[in-house]
Amino acid sequence: MPMDPVCGVHVDIEDALTATYEGRTYYFCSEECREEFREAPEEYVGDTASLLFEDEE
Ligand SMILES: [Zn+2]
């Protein structure tokens, strides 16, 4: 199940709202979360990247 990058909950693809950023699709539990993501997507994407590439600068 995909994770809402804004609030961190797991969301059901069937019910989720989506946004595309840099060619990737992100899923959100609510319009509020999606709006927050749209205002500063790099913040949330940055979090994910740091999880995937620990200590990389
Ligand atoms: Zn959310």
Question: Which two three-digit tokens encode residue 40?
Answer: 């500063």
Q: What is the CA radius of gyration of the chain?
A: 11
pLDDT tens, 7-38? 999 999 999 999 999 999 999 999 999 999 99
DSSP character for 55?
T
pTM above threshold 0.85: no
How remote is the CA of residue 33 from the centroid of ligand 1, in Å?
Answer: 5
pLDDT score, position 45:
87
Around ion ligand 1, residues with a beta carbon closer than 5 Å are 4, 7, 29, 33
Domain topology for 1-49? Ribosomal Protein L24e; Chain: T; (2.30.170)
pLDDT of 52 strictly over 70: no
